[in-house]
Amino acid sequence: MSKKENLFEKIKSGPKKVKINQLVKVMEYYNFTTHKSAEGYFFTHDLLKDITIITVPKPHKKHGETSVKKPYVDKCIKAIEIMNELEKQEDQK
């Protein structure tokens, strides 16, 4: 298993304990374009034109949050899985 697959599996197995830097890293491994703003991160991918931009707010350290909330991690996991399927379809052509 490659490095990116290991990190993706780690995120899938524990989506409640994902740090923002881990999520950004795995999204970049899968060729998502990362846009950073004051509120958080936005991810886009050329193959996922039908899906709107995925928005992930930064955890608020002053409130004791250190991990990205699970619904945002789930959105990223789903986008990666869809993108992987699209890449497989393109490879078969």
List pLDDT tens digits, range 34-86: 888 888 888 888 877 766 677 888 776 655 567 888 898 999 999 888 888 88
Structural domain that includes position 74: 3-92
pLDDT (0 to 100) of residue 44: 86
Give Cα separations from 33 to 37, 49, 58, 63, 91 (angstroms): 13, 13, 17, 29, 21
* Whether the Cβ atoms of residue 61 and residue 36 lie closer than 8 Å to each other: no
Number of domains in the chain: 1
